[in-house]
Structure 1
Amino acid sequence: MNPALFILLPLVFALTLGQSMSLCIPVEYVIHVEKRECAYCLAINTTICEGFCMTRDSNGKKLLPRSALSQEVCTYKDMMYRTVVIPGCQHHAASYYSYPVALSCKCGKCNTDYSDCIQEASRTGYCNTPQKLHNP
């Protein structure tokens, strides 16, 4: 048997395995919540879905059948909502804030009902008012 085959075969296997396995998992994330009517910016520790999902290039979408195209994102499989009170709010202000907590994740189509499907650079840790840490 050809010695190059012993080197090439494991490499092809590793690349195939790496492409087929997704690394879409819940990760820790800090949400900063601030309202004009409240004295504090609340930093909330939660989990969101993040990671790699296998995607097929859609450049040839006119030549390929629809089933061959795949544009999946790392999104929630199971999640729950928690609600916190933002401290220092005026009496007329809505001081409650509900946020998602990722329990498990999957690769799938982005559902705009509960996910932000646009990837934009955002400024993290941005607060105009003094910051308080929420401890669940």
Structure 2
Amino acid sequence: MNPALLISLPFFLALTLGQSMSFCIPVDYVIHVEKRECAYCLAINTTICEGFCMTWDSNGKKLLPRSALSQDVCTYKDMVYRTVMIPGCQHHAVSYYTYPVALSCKCGKCNTDYTDCIQEAGHTEYCTVSQQLYNP
């Protein structure tokens, strides 16, 4: 057997099996939306993409072809946007909030056009004012 083929076979198998073993799926998530001009905080039930995607350590980048190196993240494949109205807002305030709903997910490059690729620091997972639940 060709030595180059013998060496590349484990990488091919790992890549093929890695993608099929990725666990990147839509999961339930609650977004808390709060504005200073509004009397209530809205807790919105939605779905986001979450899970494990196979990645390759770039320490071997000099030995491997560029196509074999990846840093994939669990991201949206199909999604829709929904808009809700936050209750109790002052008349001059923008009381609408638009949020994404994951329909399906994939392992791929993080697209900054519609995904926050950096974990947001200081984000609260709760409301500081009276809460109303919105369940679409």
TM-score between the two structures when normalised by the length of structure 2? 0.81
Structure 2: unaligned runs, 5 residues or longer: 1-12
Identity %: 85
Map 1:13-92 → 2, pairs under 5 A: 17=17, 20-92=20-92
Report how far residue 51 of structure 1 moved: 0.5
Distance in structure 1 (CA, Å) of the matches to 2:19 and 2:80:
30
Deviations 1:48-94 (A, max 9, x none): 00001110011232443211211100000000000000000000000
Structure 1: unaligned runs, 5 residues or longer: 1-12
Q: How large is the Cα RMSD of the aligned pairs?
A: 2.1
Distance in structure 1 (CA, Å) of the matches to 2:62 and 2:86:
50
Report how far residue 106 of structure 1 moved: 0.4
- Equivalent residue number for residue 133 of structure 1: 133
The answer on whether the counterparts of 2:87 and 2:95 sit within 8 Å (CA) in structure 1 is yes
TM-score between the two structures when normalised by the length of structure 1? 0.81
The answer on whether the counterparts of 1:55 and 1:72 sit within 8 Å (CA) in structure 2 is yes
Q: Secondary structure at the match of 1:77?
A: strand
Distance in structure 1 (CA, Å) of the matches to 2:38 and 2:119:
28
The answer on whether the counterparts of 1:80 and 1:101 sit within 8 Å (CA) in structure 2 is yes
Runs of 4+ in 1 over 6 A off after TM superposition: none
Report how many aligned residue pairs link the two structures. 122
Distance in structure 1 (CA, Å) of the matches to 2:61 and 2:72:
15
Distance in structure 2 (CA, Å) of the matches to 1:21 and 1:40:
42
Q: Secondary structure at the match of 2:87?
A: coil
Distance in structure 1 (CA, Å) of the matches to 2:19 and 2:96:
42
Q: Secondary structure at the match of 2:58?
A: coil
The answer on whether the counterparts of 1:20 and 1:54 sit within 8 Å (CA) in structure 2 is no
